[in-house]
Structure 1
Amino acid sequence: MATDLIDLTADIVIAHASVTEMSSDDLLKDIKMVYATLEGLGKGKIEISDQEPKKRGRKAQKTVEAITEEKPAIPPAPALTIEEAFKPDQVGCMICGKKGLTTLKRHLTAAHNLKPGQYRKQFKIPKDQPLAAMEYVAKRRQMALDRGLGGKLAAARATRKAKQTGE
């Protein structure tokens, strides 16, 4: 069966390449796509259906749709351990291994299209572990305290607590 698929794939790609100018990368992609499609057809994972023409006078087109099955995603092994990723002066990405970051949020969204919660869940990072360098967190916390930020919040919490205990 595999040799039949290879022969069919070769015939289809040769026919396509004889008519269309293709680079070597395009040729490889085409081979992989055609082979996967033929293999999917053989296993019943792809449907072929007739599509009605949108304009009169055109012929009906055949469409190929993959029937996808939900496969459990196996998370890749982390590039860094938690100890290597979270150091006092820097953090590193456990996905790609990039080190020397101050915070992870921007890197995760830009490079990996992940939200911090997804990253925490994927690598089982505790919620109390900040995704930023501890020295940076302490510095920002001290700056906020020096500016008096959080004073109103503390006062509001105190009045709420007094109301709850007083009632």
Structure 2
Amino acid sequence: MRFTIAALLAATAAMAIPTTTPEDSPSKVAKRGTIHTVWVGDTISPDNLQADVGDQVEFHFLPGVHSVVQSSYLDPCRSNGGFGSTSLSTPSDQNQNDMAFLISIKSKKRIWYYNGANDACQRGVVGAINSPENSKRSLEGFRRAAQTESRTVNSFEVKGGVLVQI
């Protein structure tokens, strides 16, 4: 009996000894970011959102044919090779498509994108992630540039994100 008590006390004391780890060692605990919902239709809402590294953006598609395609500020209605959802067709009797397109935010850099279906981009159906509105490259400037484009280039493959069933 004395041996058992002594063993338990020794084990308890050993567990109480503090351990040190290097300050720069990565955490083993996964950090889950925020999931931002963006609605894509004849408009994009919200059309500008602030997202942190580790956050995800989930694009939901309203009735009609819609897609999201990443572009650049200087070439607003053409893919820059980043993400693309491909076109999703949603019947008018449904509130939204059964699929959503999910991307992960990997940096705080600005992301410009547009609705690649038909002529939506030229009609100003564009959006941004992490665009400060007080800069020279604002969402409204991106929208104005898109409205001067002669055509929209759509993405015909899913890339830079995943389609998920909702």
Q: TM-score w.r.t. structure 2 length?
A: 0.21
The structure with the largest alpha-carbon Rg is 1
Alignment TM-score, normalising by the size of structure 1: 0.21
Higher relative contact order (CA 8 A, sep 6+): 2
